[in-house]
Amino acid sequence: MNYQVDQKGYYGRFGGAYIPEILHQCVGDLQQNYLKILESESFRKEYRDLLRDYAGRPSPLYLSRRLSEKYGCRIYLKREDLNHTGAHKINNTIGQILVAQRMGKTRIIAETGAGQHGVATATVCALMNLPCVVYMGKTDVERQQPNVKKMQMLGAEVIPVVSGNMTLKDATNEAIRDWCYHPADTFYIIGSTVGPHPYPDMVARLQSVISEEIKGQLQEKEGRDYPDYLIACVGGGSNAAGTVYHYLDDERVKIVLGEAGGEGILSGKSAATIQLGREGIIHGARTLVMQDADGQIEEPYSISAGLDYPGIGPMHAHLATVRRAQVLTVNDDEALEAAFELTRLEGIIPALESAHALGILPKMSFRPEDIVVLTVSGRGDKDMGSYIEALEVISVNKTV
Ligand SMILES: *Cc1c(COP(=O)(O)O)cnc(C)c1O
């Protein structure tokens, strides 16, 4: 079984590049050149140096003693929360801006939902002195003010998008529209393993440093370079892709992914795309899409802004379909509980997205000798509003 992208940009029947005519040349150029660039000595050196000295890699692989005790196995946390800008996203934006420079592009655009990818993109644009425009749904602009202010402080122009539901899907549409107007000078830095080929593969490769490090770190700590389980959350799929990349062909390693159930998959308020989606095309790729009977894209919902996307990376649609990955749904309340548990047991406040990976643990049964590696994709600072609200609900319930 081949889990990697094929020549035409497909993972099984998912993927491809479904783009308007006007983008054929610039996407074609990227398809022709991205592997050459990623594999070149100059790229590799600059990328490695920045990951180490700027982003703070390698991120630690931490054996969580109390969490391991609770779940009866050996649980290692891959600490992407310790990266510069607070999540795994910086691995990808550093890589893509280096690709953009090598393609001769002089202007950067990006889409963002919660603002994490927008901040990571604005950060590398400041670093490289390139102009940056970030499209963000107006609803998200209003509820994610600290990230909007950060992007502006970093010198990016944040454009509020007022079409549709004014969230991530609409911001992505607007970014693609901008790209169509400026295909010659503009590079679109996509934030996850989504979009037309070669983006899913390029982003997966740029995040694959996560599993590359896990291999070396496990070898050192356990005397073998593979775990029994890899666990990660999936929004578009980039931290999960990075976590599993170098283990895809190693069938000894079980892959378990957590997607956002929202208020429950039957509630009508969910973002569980793999459970609920049907095949369709979104933002340039054939994949699973949450859509109604007429093929209209349905608005996803999750307490975690980084997971409420109505599509899913084509790689993950394929891994789930051929059952290389087991995909579990973690609802809002289960994620909140998991976030509080990690905080109390290990003194680590995770991002709400990462809490959807942690929420998998109570749904599994492990053997004591099992080695589990779980990626903590980001830190929880940005989610304190939701955590404070949850704490207030808990204390009100206690008083009653
Ligand atoms: C954006 C984000 C995610 C979801 O994106 P993926 O591409 O699925 O990884 C998960 N965790 C954090 C902390 C994020 O910022």
111 noted as active-site residue? yes
pLDDT < 50 stretches in the chain: none
Q: Could you read off the pLDDT of 26-40 as tens digits, one per residue?
A: 999 999 999 999 999
Mapped onto helix, strand or coil, the DSSP state of residue 143 is helix
Distance, in Å, from the CA atom of 166 to the CA atom of 135, rounded to the nearest integer, reads 10
The gap between the terminal CA atoms of the chain, to the nearest Å, is: 56
Q: Could you read off the pLDDT of 312-336 as tens digits, one per residue?
A: 999 999 999 999 999 999 999 999 9
CA–centroid distance, residue 186 to ligand 1 (Å): 24
What per-residue confidence (pLDDT) applies to 399?
65
What per-residue confidence (pLDDT) applies to 393?
85
What is the best residue among 82, 84, 89 to mutate for testing ligand 1's pocket, by most ligand atoms within 8 Å of CB?
89
Residue 351 CB less than 6 A away from ligand 1: yes
Alpha helices per DSSP H over 51-198 = 65-71, 89-102, 116-128, 138-143, 145-153, 168-181
What per-residue confidence (pLDDT) applies to 400?
57
Q: Which atom of ligand 1 is nearest to the CA of 81?
A: 13
Say how many C-beta atoms besides its own lie within 10 A of residue 41's C-beta.
7
Catalytic hit among 59, 80, 105, 111? 111
Residue 116 CB less than 6 A away from ligand 1: yes
User: In terms of C-beta density within 10 A (0-12 exposed, 13-18 middle, 19 or more buried), how is residue 70 classed?
Assistant: middle
CA–centroid distance, residue 307 to ligand 1 (Å): 7
Catalytic hit among 78, 89, 169, 269? 89
Q: Could you read off the pLDDT of 86-96 as tens digits, one per residue?
A: 999 999 999 99
Q: Could you read off the pLDDT of 331-387 as tens digits, one per residue?
A: 999 999 999 999 999 999 999 999 999 999 999 999 999 999 999 999 999 999 999
Helix (H) or strand (E) holding 35: helix 24-39
* Residue with CA at minimum distance from ligand 1 atom 7: 238
What per-residue confidence (pLDDT) applies to 26?
93
Contacts of residue 234, defined as CB under 8 A and 6 or more positions apart, other chains included, come to: 240, 257, 258, 259, 274, 307, 312, 313, 316, 327
